[in-house]
Amino acid sequence: MKYAVILAGGSGKRMKSEIPKQFISVSGIPIIVRTIQKIIGIDIFDRVIIAIHSDWNDELLYLINKYKFDKSKIIIVNGGVERIDSIYNAVNHINSSYGIFESDIILIHDAVRPFITKKIIYDSIEALQLHDAVVASLPVVDTMLWVENAPFVSSMPIRSKLFHGQAPDSFRLQVLYNALFNLTSNEKKIITGTAQICMLKGIEIFTICGDPINIKITTPFDIKLAEYFCSLEVNNESLCS
């Protein structure tokens, strides 16, 4: 089976908002709704699992009904305190409800990346035919500074070897499951990105080309940028193609 997981457990602290950032509206539509529309609209996933804080479960259900999503495909699980906990809950639900088989794949995406493109999704799934773990990324264009003792520059890494990690992160599900449930307590504490789960277990991470439009909305400036993208009537396609 093909699973998509949408991580929607964030609190919105950097947004300085009274509601989680994924529920903020952009051009009249909540960010999380736009993300669900992109994932479900491609119609290749057997199940779409949304990890959400229990306090916002009712609001999510309201939006699912309001926007007439296919509820037979959507599963809601509790989001954890940390990203790793939400992933654990989603994968554990899959295992307990359906089992995990060799052909299963899973795509894990951020609820606050509503401009994911079809190409990124299809490229991710295609890459899983040859690789166990795949992440979308973009080459760094700015000069990068290593500041070990702020505010002084320690070194300038070679830019050609640096990439911005985006989402989704995609995996052969058995590989992710084995890596996830064999993490040590210390390893769990240092994880900031999904693909890092596999990297810590020595699993090679393959990169596909992301897209500049695939932004993560985390600040008030990002909201303005997202409003601009929406004004161009972007419909699941790159602005840069």
pLDDT one-digit tens code per residue, 21-38: 999 999 999 999 999 999
Q: How far is CA 202 from CA 91, 176, 179, in A?
A: 20, 12, 9
Q: Shortest CA distance to 5 belongs to which of 76, 81, 99, 97?
A: 76
Percent of the residues in the chain that have a pLDDT greater than 90, as a whole number: 87
What is the pTM for the complete model shown?
Answer: 0.93
Say what the pLDDT of residue 180 is: 96
The stretch 37-46 carries a mean pLDDT of 95
Tokens of 64: 């699912």
Asked if the model's pLDDT at residue 79 lies above 70, the reply is yes
Residues in the chain: 241
The confidence band for 12, taking pLDDT boundaries of 50, 70 and 90, is: low
The confidence band for 13, taking pLDDT boundaries of 50, 70 and 90, is: low
Q: Shortest CA distance to 166 belongs to which of 139, 203, 135?
A: 135
Domains in the chain: ranges and CATH: 2-231 (3.90.550.10)
Lowest-pLDDT range, 14-18, 27-31, 132-136, 199-203? Answer: 14-18
Report the half-sphere exposure of 47 (CA within 13 A, side-chain side): 19
- Interacting residues of 127 by C-beta distance below 8 A, sequence separation 6+: 134, 170, 206, 208
Lowest-pLDDT range, 170-179, 213-222, 230-239? Answer: 230-239
Q: How many CB atoms lie within 10 A of CB 69?
A: 17
- Contact yes or no for 217/223 (Cβ under 8 A): yes
Asked if the model's pLDDT at residue 241 lies above 50, the reply is no
